[in-house]
Structure 1
């Protein structure tokens, strides 16, 4: 097989969300609110425990009756916001408006850090003439994140679930990305951290490679094996 195109997941693959505590600190700062350090740490821990940070690694604790919305959360921007702010509201914060502010914060480029080898790998793929796409289950436009970090120039297509009303592992989302890049599925490699969602590309005939969803400092070279797979 000759790989002519590589599709990447976003969160946990190319980028990592900021830690929950810095997420909360930033929102409190912007709201001109302060909490005693112990209370701030406790609130951050509670948000972490319920999985309130979109893109985090903790399995969310769902509010009662929200299971159906959770299953289809990435198919619309509205559903994504409603779901994650409902998860966040399980934690008491000093101002109820902070829950929406937390959601808004997580969409900012400053809330996302590329993995140490992201730029290197994307640049190497483009140098080899390999097309690059991003396929993400997400409820908001991540393009500004790539632009802010100087990585947009490497990406030939963004296929985002909320824009198509389709979520991974549905093969149609991967097919849309392959069509956008002009690459046949059998010549495409999908790289992601979720074996169920990203593994759906295999049903289309794509090769699949998984990475670990770890903090950036613990995964300095997790993407480099992709270059060996491409050859």
Structure 2
């Protein structure tokens, strides 16, 4: 099993929660109305990694945006660049926002993530996380107790390429000692995660919804891998 990270196993916090944490980190106080307005503007700008995409990418950020998950530097440049298009009261907030989204507390696993990963592990199915990302997400899995259920991480910035590049999916299959036709890719992005089909993997898509609106979508994958560990 190959799983995407953001929007599949985990969901980033809301833009308002994200901004509120950065304000607390920098000791900045804002009236609630102003905080809510800045959060809406940041969300519209697409500045929250794992959140909504930009309504429009500024021309000067087009190159960084298209390659945002290939390197750590591109990822930071793209998202802090988008954030800087929203005027905030203190310049240190932009770095604080980027730092916040990398903290485990900014992410919540979907309600059925632990159950599904645990059941797959019980059935002897190997698991890899294949993510377009510009930083190491392993601490997020460790903090939420899911790291013991993952056999391998294939992260775009560590490979210098991003989904739907077939090299990432091949690397994940190799890490699990599987042929691509033996693997199922579970993700939320038809283009990026659907790229696994080009190397022969099956693909199963879930909706990228808030955690409280998607309680059990991952359980469907258990039906695709019958339990052969229980005697008839």
Q: Distance in 2 between matches of 1:28 and 1:182?
A: 45
Quote how far apart the aligned CAs of 1:51 are: 1.1
State the match for 1:87 in structure 2.
Answer: 82
Structure 1 residues 211, 75: closer, same or farther in 2, change over 3 A?
same
Quote how far apart the aligned CAs of 1:61 are: 2.9
Where in structure 1 are there 5+ consecutive unaligned residues? 1-5
Q: Distance in 2 between matches of 1:19 and 1:183?
A: 37
Q: Does 1:73 align with 2:68?
A: yes
Which stretch shows the higher mean deviation, 68-77 or 7-16? Answer: 68-77
1:95-135, CA deviations, whole angstroms, 9 ceiling, x for partnerless residues? 01111110010000000000000000000000000000000
Q: Distance in 1 between matches of 2:26 and 2:81?
A: 20
State the TM-score, normalized to the length of structure 2.
0.96
Quote how far apart the aligned CAs of 1:69 are: 1.7
State the match for 1:3 in structure 2.
Answer: none
Structure with the bigger RCO (C-alpha within 8 Å, sep 6+) is 1
Q: Distance in 1 between matches of 2:22 and 2:55?
A: 21
What is the aligned residue count? Answer: 226
Where in structure 2 are there 5+ consecutive unaligned residues? 227-232
State the TM-score, normalized to the length of structure 1.
0.96
CA RMSD of aligned residues (A): 0.8
Q: Which residue, 195, 209, 212 being the options, matches 2:204?
A: 209
Quote how far apart the aligned CAs of 1:60 are: 4.8
State the match for 1:198 in structure 2.
Answer: 193
Q: CA contact under 8 A between 1:60 and 1:87: conserved in structure 2?
A: no
